[in-house]
Amino acid sequence: MAADIDKPDTTSEQRTPAKRGAKPRTRNVKPMRTVAIFAAVGALVAAVALPAYAATSTPSTAAATSLRQAAVDDAQSLVVASEATAAPIARGNYSATTPEEIAKKKAEEAAKKRAAAAARVASAGGNVSDADLQLVAAGSGAVRYPLPAGSYTVSRTLSSGHNGADMAGPAGTPIFAATGGRVRISSESYYGYGVAVVIDGVVGGKRVSTLYAHMINGSRAVTAGQTVTAGQFIGKRGNTGRSYGAHLHFEVEINGSLVEPIAWLRANAG
């Protein structure tokens, strides 16, 4: 027991070194110094790298701005297809952009020519002599009446508002080719003419075209491209198209100009 009492208390000395005049511990000095060094190095890197980054990033920003401005300029200069107008293409004597427009212009010009010819006849009062219309000897057979004798009455003829003669009578009456030639048109629906046939021929050295309109549906006996002779059966009188009552609308053109059909028939068919 005495030995235990006299044993020095070393634990107490280790716990309280300050009481014995011992120096303070300095083991935290190295970590603080390391932190300071790293901070200095980081500041140096930032001082060198940031200006360089700023110098390199400025052109990229300017380039991006230029690209955006160019895109805006391009968008503002865009022409919408619906707002664009195609310049017409000249084709012969017609200015048009499609085949349909060209055909329409041709039809309009042909209608103007027919109207002008009709106006000339109307201004003369229809008093054109048979001698002026005669192409062949009457009764030669080169020209025939399109309807049987006594089967029609002429309700009206060529005038400024009408291109031919209306030969009214019973529906179903046979119609004959007034001249020989080639069938240019044979249609069940030829504009306002309804069922119609057009024949191009030569009589007395002149081009003669005859048109037969308002025939009965399904009565056409000829086709386009077919060659026919004067007096050949081509269809039956009807009331198709723009028509009021059964009649044959009969037109005659000589060298592209309309003539009064009844006087022409009288001069050439007898």
CB 147, CB 233: distance < 8 Å: no
Long-range contacts: 7-13, Cβ < 8 Å, 24+?
none
Topology of domain 108-269, CATH: Glucose Permease (Domain IIA) (2.70.70)
Which tens digits make up the pLDDT trace of 88-146? 444 455 566 788 788 778 777 766 665 555 444 444 444 455 667 899 999 899 999 99
pLDDT of residue 251: 97
Is a pLDDT exceeding 50 seen at residue 76?
A: no
Which tens digits make up the pLDDT trace of 193-216? 999 999 999 999 999 999 999 999
Domain boundaries, the chain: 108-269
Instruction: With CA atoms as reference, report the closest residue to 152 among 131, 130, 175, 136.
Output: 175
Instruction: Give Cα 258 distance to the centre of its chain.
Output: 34
Phi, psi (rounded to 5 degrees) for 126: 75, 10
pLDDT of residue 200: 98
Distance (Å, whole) CA 112 – CA 160: 11
Distance (Å, whole) CA 225 – CA 270: 29
Mean residue pLDDT of the chain comes to 76
Which tens digits make up the pLDDT trace of 151-198? 999 999 998 889 999 999 999 999 999 999 999 999 999 999 999 999
Overall average pLDDT of the 240-267 stretch: 95
DSSP 146: S
